[in-house]
Structure 1
Amino acid sequence: MIRPATAHDVTAIELIVQVAYAPYIERIGRKPGPMLEDYHQRVACGGVHVLDNGGRVQGVIILAAASNALLLDNLAVDPNAQGLGFGRQLMEFAEQQAVDSGYSNIVLYTNEAMTENIAIYTRRGYVKTHHCVENGLRRVYMSKQL
């Protein structure tokens, strides 16, 4: 079940993000952006949803309105639950949220060193739109028409 996150979910969200992104620290040379977020604040502001599997938070997705699209700002799945289709469910949720909100496309960004993620997004129909450096991180932006 995917539901809006509450303050009670923040500890689980922080743990999932830390464990999911930790393997990229060495590759990027620093902590990825999601590891630096204040999730208490993000949950309080809305747009954060969790994948609750039998009472355990095993995934998180953060969505935000962008100028002409819905921004998929962050998606992380507990590494112990990877391979169960939770990432796909969260992606489908994001795309449905975009459609339900009247957007004709969804956008996301990821670090260019996260090649596995870029491959996953490409297989799901996302196309690269541009590269840039933001906050010292080399990012690849991608978009999908819905």
Structure 2
Amino acid sequence: MDVVRAIAVSAYSQYIDAIGRPPAPMCADFPSQIRSNWIYVIERASGDVAGYIVFFPMSDHMFLESVAVHKDAAGQGLGKLLLAHCAEAARGCGLDEIRLYTNEKMTSNLKMYPRLGFEEYARRSEDGFSRVYFKKTLSST
């Protein structure tokens, strides 16, 4: 659990100044997520945990709550592997869509998710955060 929190801090602390407080993933209840079996980690060849993803099925889509890769492992394709695992799990649950949200001040995410096939479908203010909602329809293969 400590390693997952450390990855969240590594990945999300850069946004504290822009948002004005820690991003929601930095405050996540990781013990509960671990007990619920909705968190998955990815390791480096050395066996060190380098990233994680949290997702769970809803009635008509897979909800992607959080994905993070330690900044020291950024750019190695680990985030894409984690997202592919989420898509595979969605298909395994009979779901053909992934949904997520990100903070509107996380501008790198606003550029990244469309490159990964997600489309914006809503913007809302919730829990004091200005959120941008994305969805991705999965192919049947």
1:12 alignment partner AA: V
Asked if the contact 2:57–2:63 (Cα under 8 Å) also holds between the matched residues in 1, the reply is: yes
Deviation digits for residues 60-103 of structure 1, max 9, x if unmatched?
00011223100111000000000111011111111111111110
Match of 1:64 in 2: 56
SS in structure 2 at match of 1:22: helix
Structure 2 residue runs without a partner (length 5+):
none
Match of 2:27 in 1: 36
1:92 pairs with 2:65: no
Deviation digits for residues 24-48 of structure 1, max 9, x if unmatched?
0001111100111121121111110
Match of 1:132 in 2: 124
Greater than 3 Å deviation, 4+ residue runs:
none
Match of 1:105 in 2: 97
Structure 1 residue runs without a partner (length 5+):
1-9
1:19 pairs with 2:10: yes
Could you tell me the percent identity over the aligned residues?
Answer: 34
Alignment: residue pair count = 137
Whole-Å separation in 2 of the counterparts to 1:46 and 1:118: 28
1:103 alignment partner AA: L
What TM-score results when the alignment is normalised by the length of structure 1?
A: 0.91
